[in-house]
Amino acid sequence: MSVENESPVTRSEAVTEGVRVQVRARYSPDHSDPSRGHWFFLYTIRISNEGGEAVQLTDRHWYIVDGSGKTEEVQGPGVVGEQPGLEPGASFEYTSGCPLTTPFGSMTGSYRMQRGDGTTFEAEIGLFELSQPVAIH
């Protein structure tokens, strides 16, 4: 029998035009320092192409909301320095992090996906919670 020492995981899942975005997020005590007002969260995202044509992730667009309601908007090319192409049936997974100045918050957003013919669409990233395990809100 094993004992789980990791922080609880929060999740979200959304499907847009055949692109499934699954998120698992957790508090990272090793990267946090609550005594200095610094909380850090890790999130792992799996993007799966369940559609019938190849797509490429070109841009990301995040809304990060902290516990005081302050919203930060983050936009940029690709994810973790990549703009992965996904053939039908393929997936791409990466882990990144988010610092907050409060012990809880949330993230949501979208990925701009481009089809082979050059047209684009926004693949939804469902809202997921960021919460230090002992935080009450």
Q: Residues, the chain, total?
A: 137
- In single-letter form, the type of residue at position 134 comes to V
Distance CA 61, CA 55 (A): 17
Distance CA 84, CA 101 (A): 31
Give the tens place of pLDDT for each residue, 39-97.
Answer: 999 999 999 999 999 999 999 999 999 999 999 999 999 999 999 999 999 999 999 99
Looking at residue 53, its pLDDT comes to 97
Looking at residue 11, its pLDDT comes to 97
Q: Which residues of 43-65 are buried (b: 16+ CB within 10 A; e: fewer)?
A: bebebbbebeeebbbebbebebb
The closest of 59, 63, 105 to 83, measured between CA atoms, is 59
- In single-letter form, the type of residue at position 84 comes to P
Q: Model pTM? A: 0.91
Name the CATH topology of 10-131. Answer: Immunoglobulin-like (2.60.40)
Spell out the domain ranges in the chain. Answer: 10-131
